[in-house]
Structure 1
Amino acid sequence: MAINLDIVLKRPNKIYHEGETICGILSIHSPTEIKHEGIFLSIEGVVDLQISTQNIGTFDAFYNAVKPIQLMMCTLDVAQSGRLPGGLTEFSFEAPVKPLLNKVLYESYHGVFINIQYLLKAVIKRNFLNKDIHKSLEFIVEHRSHSDAIANKVDKFVINQNTLTNVNDCANIPKFHIIGMIDTVICSITQPFKGELKIEHSDVPIKSIDVQLVRVETCGCAEGFSKDCTEIQNIQIAEGNVATGISLPIFMIFPRLFSCSTTKTANFKIEFEVNISIVFEDEHLVTENFPITLIR
């Protein structure tokens, strides 16, 4: 006998801000009458932290001390124990989006070592002869927009063999000169990351130019911290013997959930960087790094 339990929110995009109310419906469809021991709905917000495997040896002493951080918890009694008729039964619900005492609702974020998730969890309790029926649904918490407070400050840059700081032997790098600009390094997450660059000279033809968005996740506790950089997305803006003297546009959309407002707390940090990677036809690779701050 298949019993279908579903959670339907009245807001299709599932995006909420602190202080708002989540409204929705619990939908239960059963082919026959069922007995239950109560129907419950919980609203949870949790930060899950992990230490990368490459740091386990170094941080083994505090590895088990990195525990989930509870941000939000609310439980609703949707229905007392009883019976549900066959067919479709719906229960409406409302719940406030508010943090636990002395906690902060950070933006929803799916990372590699840090995950910030907000979930609705519904359960139909059954007797010991039947399994409980569970259903969960993620909703998204965002900060209210303050992007109108951003003052665009153009960041001009020059990349050549003399400006590179992450190369051990610059003598082997082909001589080249690239100029460019970025609209701002304090970026609205709802707006594209924009700029341009121009190759003024290169001894060796340039094979490819990529723009990479990188997350920098730091997590730990008083005993120590683990910091890891991982790529979120890579966008190729030029390919194949790239011509000199032509302005190449830089345009990148920040992906939903895989990026969030820059966040710094006592237990974890979520920061972002943009890399411009240049690959020459002789396979030399050079990268210029731009730390950025994301706000909403």
Structure 2
Amino acid sequence: MSVSLDLRLKRANKVYHEGELLSGVVVISSRDVLQHQGISLSMEGLVNLQLSSKSVGVFEAFYNSVKPIQLVSSNIEVVKAGKVPAGKTEIPFEFPLQAKGNRVLYETYHGVFVNIQYTLRCDMRRSLLAKDLSKTCEFMVHSQPQKSKVQPNPVDFTITPDTLQNVRERTSLPKFLIRGHLDASTCVITQPLNGELVVENSEVAIKSIELQLVRVETCGCAEGYARDATEIQNIQIAEGDVCHGLSIPIYMVFPRLFTCPTLETTNFKVEFEVNIVIVLHDDHLITENFPLKLVRV
């Protein structure tokens, strides 16, 4: 006997906000009449925190603080035990999306050490001889947009050998002057990061200019924090020895799921930075770092 169970949400993009109704249908397809012991739906929202290998063992107290944080959890029985007719059966459902107690529904985010995920699961219990069926689907939660307007706060930068941090032998560096600006350091997550960069002069030929988006994830408790920066994406904006004095556009779209509005809670933080990386032909690497604040409006 061929039986399949599926979950379909009414919204094609699967994006919801706190307080909304999660609605859809449970789809059961069967060649014959199907006997079951009940069909239930469960919704769960979890923040999973993980320690990087360099932090494990350093803070014993971390092991208690990195337990999953449950944001939402609820169950409903869709159908009591009985029979489902042969063919295709669609059972509609509605689920209110409400946080547990005084918790906040953070935005869906897939990181390395911090993961915020919301899932809907359907279970069909069957008799001893038949295998139980289950189907899970993920849906996205977007945080409520902030009411206030985002003020554009452009960032101008000048990169020379003298402005660089963490340089051992400054005298051995070739001379260069790079200017530019980012249109804003507080960015709307649905809009691209814009700006421009101009190579005024450089003693050594340039090999490549890249934009690197970095997430900085912090997990921890009062005893200490583990802070890890990992790359999300790297976009090459220029290749080869670019013309001096020519304006090079900076343009980066924030990828969905791997970014979220900047988040700061007692147990974890998710922050973002962008690096402008200039690779010279002698393989010198020049990096300028800019913290970003991401918001949803």
Amino acid at match of 2:130: N
Equivalent residues in 2 for 1:182-201, closer than 5 Å: 182-201=182-201
Q: Deviations over 1:213-265 (max 9, x none)?
A: 00000112333221100000000000011111001000000000000000000
Q: Does residue 1:89 correspond to 2:89, yes or no?
A: yes
How far apart are the structure 2 equivalents of 1:19 and 1:44? 15
SS at match of 1:63: helix
1:15: how far off? 0.5
Q: Does residue 1:253 correspond to 2:253, yes or no?
A: yes
1:122 match: 122
2:139 match: 139
Query: Which is worse superposed, 214-223 or 283-292?
Result: 214-223
TM-score by length of 1: 0.97
1:19: how far off? 1.3
1:175: how far off? 0.9
How far apart are the structure 1 equivalents of 2:66 and 2:123? 29
SS at match of 1:54: coil
2:21 match: 21
8 Å CA contact 2:206–2:279 kept in 1: the answer is yes
1:30: how far off? 1.2
How far apart are the structure 2 equivalents of 1:268 and 1:65? 10
Q: Deviations over 1:90-120 (max 9, x none)?
A: 1100111110101000000000011100111
How far apart are the structure 2 equivalents of 1:170 and 1:41? 63
1:59 match: 59
2:110 match: 110
SS at match of 1:232: strand
How far apart are the structure 1 equivalents of 2:241 and 2:26? 58
1:278 match: 278
8 Å CA contact 1:147–1:188 kept in 2: the answer is no
State the percentage of identical aligned residues: 53
8 Å CA contact 1:48–1:116 kept in 2: the answer is yes
TM-score by length of 2: 0.96
Amino acid at match of 1:154: P
SS at match of 1:83: strand
Structure 2: stretches of 5+ with no match in the other structure: none
1:279: how far off? 0.2
Aligned length: 296
2:74 match: 74
8 Å CA contact 2:65–2:267 kept in 1: the answer is no
Aligned-residue Cα RMSD (Å) equals 1.3
Amino acid at match of 1:231: E
2:160 match: 160
How far apart are the structure 2 equivalents of 1:92 and 1:5? 13
1:202 match: 202
Structure 1: stretches of 5+ with no match in the other structure: none
Q: Deviations over 1:20-39 (max 9, x none)?
A: 11110000111122211110
How far apart are the structure 2 equivalents of 1:213 and 1:49? 21
